[in-house]
Amino acid sequence: MSAFIFFLCIALIASILQTSTGFGFSIMATPLFLVLFHPQEAIQINIILSLVISISIIRSIMPSVDFTLLKRLIAASLAGIPFGIAIHMTINIEAFKLSVGVLLLMLTLLLILNFRINQTPARDNLTGGLSGLFTTSIGMPGPPILVYFTGTSMDKDRVRATTLAFYLFIYSVSLVTQIIFTGTSVLIWKYSLYAVPAVLSGLVIGRYIYKWINQDAFRIFTYVLLSGTGLYLLIQSMLSP
């Protein structure tokens, strides 16, 4: 029972994070879900619950979506998805996590030191491709987008709306791809259903919190998320047998 309550608390807090910032559910939930479930189960539960969030709020965020950027991210992510599946099925996933963890920590340090990049179509495409790869390999599309958007100093409304709209697409495609290539289970869908009330509660709380987050706090929060994710992937890869 304590593990089940822990699971619901993760879903609640992660959904608050996702709704208030536009990212963060997979960054927070996937590592903690891996404590409770096998990797395939954790990744698919994360994808399903992230879809619930995106579907629930997509209509309200549409006015702030950058559709030009969204189209580039979607098109490029389609190229990244097969590579993510190949990584998930063939290479040492712990070695991959170690590499991603080190890269995230280095990029976060650069961002903290005020390193900035200009937004270009080519960089939009690269970010989308990496997000597609990350989604199907480790269930976390957020890091590439978070690094890119933070480095270009985009407005928080635009970041939140465009990210959530992109997640609706990438998670839908990734869920279908995961089911086709690795299968699914009753446990995955049962626990996802159990978590829906917690996720919907988090949506309400997250919308309220979002109104009180200014641009500086938003940027600092992204640094915390990126560094935390990098450290987690680094430590997990080292501790895994």
| Residue 230: pLDDT band with limits 50, 70, 90 | confident
- Segment 43-59 shows an average pLDDT of 88
Distance between CA atoms of residues 24 and 229, nearest Å: 10
Q: Which residues contact 240 (CB under 8 A, 6 or more apart)?
A: 94
What pLDDT, on the 0 to 100 scale, is given for residue 157? 81
First to last CA, the chain: 28
Residue predicted with more confidence, 220 or 11: 11
| Residue keyed to tokens 């089911």 | 179
Share of the chain above pLDDT 70, in %: 93
What is the structure's pLDDT at 187? 95
Q: Tell me the percentage of the chain whose pLDDT exceeds 90.
A: 23
- Tens of pLDDT, residue by residue over 115-140, are 778 889 999 999 999 998 888 877 77
- CA dist 198 and 135 (Å) reads 23
For the stretch 70-106, pLDDT in tens is 999 999 999 998 888 887 777 676 776 777 777 778 7
189 vs 235, residue with greater confidence:
189
pLDDT(58) > 90: no
Long-range contacts of 213-217 (CB under 8 A, 24+ apart): 213/20, 213/21, 213/156, 215/155, 215/156
pLDDT for residue 70 = 94
Query: What average pLDDT does the segment 51-57 reach?
Result: 87
Give rounded-to-5 percent helix, strand, coil for the chain.
Answer: 85, 0, 15
Query: pLDDT digits over 9-39, tens only?
Result: 889 988 887 777 666 677 778 777 877 888 7
Q: What is the pLDDT of residues 136-151, one digit of tens each?
A: 877 777 778 877 887 7
CA proximity to 182, closest of 113, 110, 111, 87: 87
| pLDDT of res. 93 | 65
